[in-house]
Structures are given as C-alpha cells and as structure tokens.
Structure 1
Amino acid sequence: MKKTLSIVAVVVILVIGYLGWSTYPKLDLISGFAAKSVASGHFIDQRPLSVIAAQDNDIKLVDWATNTINEAGKLATASVNGLKERKAIYREGIGATLINDDFDETQPYLVPKRLKSKIGLYPYGNVKPPDTVFSNVNYKSLNAAVANAFDVSNEKIKRSRAVVVIYKDRIIAEKYAPGFNERSKILGWSMTKSITGALFGVLAQQGKYDIYKPAPIEEWQKDDRKKITTNDLLHMNSGLEWLEEYTSICDATKMLFQAEDMGSVQLGKPVAFQPNTHWNYSSGTTNLLSKILRGQFKTHQEYLDFWYTNLIDKIGMRSMIIETDMTGNYVGSSYGWATARDWGKFGLLYLHQGNWNGEQILSPEWVKYTRTPTATSNGRYGAQFWLNAGGYFPDVPRDMYYCSGFQGQMVAIIPSRDMVIVHMGLKGNENGFDFNGFLKEVLAAVK
C-alpha cells in the first residue's frame, strides 16, 4: 500500500512539475494580454471591468488573470495568482500601451492632430439618414438573417457584438448585442492591417512612394534581404522567417505582449524563402510596414498626423483610434478601434474605388492591386486584405474581399452587390461563427 501511494505521489509531483514547467513561460503573455485588454476596453470604450473579464478576456488561459484598474492613473494591471504582473497605461489620443518596468510613465508624449467631424448624413457625416426603402430588399428576411447572427439569451455560441449592412451607401440593417450600440468602439484586431496597407496607397496616390522598389531598410542592404520590396511585404510574400500561431508562444504573441518596438521584430528576422515564392501571414510584417511609414516623415508628429489627416479622419472615421507601442509607433497589425459604422466607412472607400465624396484618396489602380490575389496564397490574400477569389466562402460572390480580425471581425466588400457588411464579435470562422452562412443569408435578402 505504501509503495502504491509513493508511486501515486511521484506521478502527481511529476504532473504538477510538468504543468508548471510548460505553463509558467506563458504567464507573462497571459497577464500581458489581460492588462492590455482591460486598459483599452475600459478607457477607450468605457466598459466595466466585469464586462471585460466576462467577455473580452473570456479566453482559455487569459481567464486565469486577476485584473485591477487604477482610474486616477489610467492604468490596468493583471497577474496570475500574483505572478508575472503586467501593466498597461492609457494615454488620451494614442490609446493603451502595454509597458515594462523601464517605461517612464511621466514622460511627455505626442498625440495625433485630428480633423473635425463634418456635419451631414452617413456615410459622409455621422447622422443616419431616414430609412431608404429599396423595392428589391426583403427586409423581413434581412432582419431575420442579421438577428440569426446573435445569441439568444445568455448563450455564448455566436457571440456577435455588432452587424451593419450597407447597400448603395445606406444602412439597411443594424443590430447590436446588449451593452453595445452605434457609439461603441470595438477592436478590429487584424482589420487594422488593411488600414496600414491603405496608407501606402495614399502615399502612392500622392506620388510619394514606390512600392516596387526595395524596402528602405538600412539593416537589410548587406544581405539577401535587400531584394525584398514593399510590394512583397504588403502581400505577406517577403520570405522572411515568422511564426504566427496563437495557441502557443510564437513570434506574434511575443511581439504583441513583450516587445517595446514591435516594428523591429520582423525587421530582425532572417530570410527563410526567396521573396515572392512563399506566402506567410505575419503581423510582424505589418508592424514593420508601420515602421517604414515612420521613416517617410521628418518628425514623429508628422507620422502620427498622417494616418488621421490623410485617411482616417478624411473619410469621417472619427471614432477610430490606433494604439501605439512603447516607442510611439502605431501597432498597425492589430490595435485599431472604431465603431461598426466607422469600420463600414472604410469598406465604402474601397467599394467606391478609393473615391470619397468626390476626392480620390486612393487610386482605382490601388484598389485593384489590393484585391488581386498574391500568387502563392491560393486566392486567399491580396495586399493586406483577404479575398474570396478562391471560393473560401463557397456561397458568397468571388469578388468579395475583406478586412479580417481575430475573433470574427470582418468588413466585407462585395462590389457586384454594391454592399459592405460589417461584423464585430468574439468568435471567428475557425471556432464557431459560420460566416459563409451569415453572408449567404444577408445576400439572399437583397435581389
């Protein structure tokens, strides 16, 4: 009996030891995700801590974290049973930033200058116009399709937060989960990549940047990386080494929750493949693109302003805020917040071939470039946009292209149907939300 108990005790100790060995390195990322999520959700969208814990941070392992908010200091902290405490600071104008112990919280910082909102009807203003009744829209079917995207009662199956359907520039359907409305700012995650990509289109339209030249990165000029162009980076086709796998500690998670200068993480990676031969999705690449954008301006203030005055505010996305890393550069891969309606405006810019109320912000050639498949992506990816060219969504038109973000964020642009469909939520296509079915039902209601 004693021998059996001893064996059991050894097994238990080994199991506990293994769990501790395998889990402890993740604690820094767990508390980092939690602290950043709490700071952003609370100070950007005024969500209570209880809501953030029950919804935004209701993710395996992340839900281990204990979180606190310091209202006066505009800080959020998180730890796992007192271990690996992390801190995120909110600063008006540039959002929440996950910081380390070396960060000086009292240092002055620059904020982007914003354009004033224009008074007018959506989408060129923020006032929703009177309902336009289209004879070819089955509103009963449309509203049913939109309602079907949301959970009933307290279920956590679909977990949608917002849906906005825009047809011929008019919002024809709109619905929000309890606690959310048309003023709620929601994190787009990787939809932010499409914003970053569009800024190169703005520079190209202004005649200030050639994406086909080698990327302007001094550190690459003495090795094979000197062949990599901005075009390769925009298409996730650079051949640089990168691992993006959110179920484990990887390049992407270490960048988002540990790096001070996120744009430098991909910059320092070696070549794994020749450019334009191997498609590899990389958030590090988009943050490198943000860093390249910084290099196009003499001052940091000009860089900060450019994102808003030349694109975001110009199309009336006044709710949007792009958060920065510890160096002050925008986290162009992941940290863009805006209302569902404003995310819809971004989709409309592309639907209208880069023209916004008479002003050509992006050229039609850039829009075409954006939605042209990367040769090595099997029709899934263009230039910082996802595509349906290969029929990934079988019941949706092949001309659909879209911004896509973690946990089911989508801005779908469907030129053949003159539609933009926005979905914001907490579940993606890979873990429970049926985007093909959702889009199919919405489209079926508009003949």
Structure 2
Amino acid sequence: MSSPELTPPSTALKRLSIRVTVLCWFLVLLDGLDLFVYGASLPGVLDDKGFGLTPGAAGNIGSLNTFGMLLGALSAGVIADRVGRRKVIATGVVVFCLSAAVCGAAPTVTVFGAARFVAGIGLGVLLPTAIAQVMEYTAPARRHIGVTILMTAHQAGGAIAGGVAASVVAALGWRSVYWFGAAPVVLALPAILLWLPESITNLVAAGRTAKARALADRHGVSLESFAPERDSDRHRGSLRSLFTGPLWRTTTLFWIASFMGLLLVYGVNTWLPTMMRDQGYNLGSAISFLLVINAGGIVGMLVAGSLADRLGSARPVAIAWFAATTVGVALLAVPMPLWITYVDVFLTGGFLFSAQTLIYSSTSNYYLPGVRGTALGWVSGIGRFGAVFGPWLGGVLVASSLSTWGFAVFAVAAVLATLMIALIRGNSASVVRAKLATVD
C-alpha cells in the first residue's frame, strides 16, 4: 500500500537525503584516502632504496593512477545512467580497496604501478557517480552545498592520508599506509548493499517507474519529489547530447576548466611534500603541508558551497576561487616564515579544491537526469587528462631540480581555469535544460 503523499521537504525526504549523503561521504572519504596516500607516502617510498623507485618513475606511476581514473570516469557515467548508480558505486569501492592491498604487498615497482593504475579505475568510477547520487537526493536549493559537503570527504581522506603517513611511515614503513587504506572495504561493501538506495531520479528517467515508486514508498517519500519526467531514449546516456544545441560551447569550456583544475589538484597533491622538502623544509614539515592543504580544502568547500547556494550560481564563486588559487600557489615558491607558509598552504587548499568541486556542481545543472551521470563522468574524465599530466610534469620538474618552477606552472594552470569558467555565459540552467529536452 502506498504511503501518503508528502510535501517536500518532508521529514522522510530529509532523512533519506541525509542517509545517502552520509554513506556517500564515507565512501568518498575512502576514495580520498586511497588517492592522496600516494603523495603522502612518496617521500618514504623514494627513501626505500631497496624498492628502487626513482622520482621519474614516481611521476609516471602518479600519471598511471590518474589515467586509470580517466578511464573509470569516462565509462562510469554512461554505465551508471543505464544500469543504475548503486552497482557502479559498489564496484568502484571494491576495486580501489583491493588494489590498495596489492600496493602494500607489491614486490616490485612494476607491480606497484599496475596496482595504482587499477586503483585509479575504481577511484574514477566512484567519484562522479557519488556526486550524481547525492545531487539527486538533495533539494535543488541546497545542491551546491550538498556537493561541497560530499567533497569535504575527499579532503578529509587526504588529511588522514597525510596524518597516517606522518605518524606511521617512519615506524612501520610506507607499506603499512596502503594496508590501512584497504581495510575499510569490510565495512564499505555491506553499507552499500544494506543502506544505499538506487537513485529514484535515475529510475524515473529510465522509465522504471514501478520500481521507483516502490522504492519511494519503502522510504515514505513522494515519487513527485524527484524528477517527474522520463528522458527520451535518444538522450539517455548519450555523449552526443552533451553537444546538442546550446550545450556544445558550455560542455567544451567545462572540459577545459576541469582539465586545468585537476592538473592543479593532482599535481599539487602528489608533489607538494617533495617540492616543499626541496625548498628546504624537513620531511615532517613537508608531509604536514599535505595535511594542512587538505584541511583548508574542507573549510573552503563549506564556505564555497554555502555562498554558491546564496548566489544561486556556483560560477562566480568558481571564478573568484580559481583566481585566488593563482596567487596562493605562486606564493609557495617565495621563501617565507614557516607560520606564514602554513597559512598560505591552508588558504590555497581552501580555494583550489572547492573551485574544482564547483565545476562539478555547476555542470549538473545543465543536463537532464538521463545524461547527468554521463555529463559528470566526462567532465571528470576529461579533467583526468590534466590529472595525468600534472603528476608527470611535477616528476619531470623535481627530477630536473626545478621545483620552484613547478609552482609557477601550476599558477598558470589556475589562470587558465579562471578564464574558462569566466567564458561560460550566465546561469541559464533551466533554460538550457528545457532547450535540450526539446531537441530530437
């Protein structure tokens, strides 16, 4: 028997939204932990002469990891739009957790690199799918803060990675950090299977209305609280629809901005400890910068998401945040007192990570539910080309003793990201979506 119709925001709907957000937050925390543990453990791995990892090879492995993320992100959106978000999320978590265990036991650099590549596929699958899932369970007026809250988990994972590396690498060796990252799979998989519902919006968009209604009734929410219309089969999971009508220019600009943003995110996170050590800081301080920059990212996301919801658009906030990132990254090359450097690292993290997150939350407003996962997956996936390039470029600069120039290169990437977002016209989400819906 169907439950009574509820007027959103109902208590049941809020409860369901919180459940989905909390579960996805935990999963993205594991994603961030696995991703950033590489940069955090890298000084220790390089110091393990018996293992034989060189700076150049380390940069290549970082790029392999992000290339795997590229493949995962590009495929995940299309698959999730067609088969559902829940299965894709579960698969991604299992893949990157098991790959972390292989890294911890890797006998050679080759095996280690292969495991990081496979882990990247799992990481790339999870993130855009989790973002789409949270957005589809969050009230429209709070979607920007919903996405930024979710992405604080990514930075919390990075902060934990830095903290774990700083505490245990010297005592237990760098391998222990990867075992620490693999262990939570025993909690994550049951949590997904027992408590994470499929996206009701995605079910409606797929025409599986009976299943969507049954799921809504089970949780005591109204089906009308979610996307009321079914997307056309032509649009559903279609890459071509991202370039239909007025979307082609916006899609292109989002792709370029994401490329520059993720070049920054992964280049800085992979090489910050090593580059700061080359600047004269000791190993403990160098690793702690990774913790500080991710802590700044958490605060910055909460501020950015709240501000974007107040303005009704994430675009102007993303422009300002990328511009501020330019200044913060450039200042890292300037010798300063330690406490000022910590402040700069904190503020740079606050601007950098939230700016990239606002690209994701902005993107989803331009696309119908049936291609939302595809749009997010491709924005994330194209960005991974920058993420592949960033760690490789950092490795080349460090190996050439040009760490200071690395900060300048990353600052230029922030300038280009600022320009791309600025060229996206207006906040015409509803208009663009309506036009796309009429194209056949």
Task: Tell me which structure has the larger Cα radius of gyration.
Answer: 1
So what's the TM-score if we normalise by structure 1?
A: 0.26
Higher strand proportion (structure 1 or 2): 1
Higher helix proportion (structure 1 or 2): 2
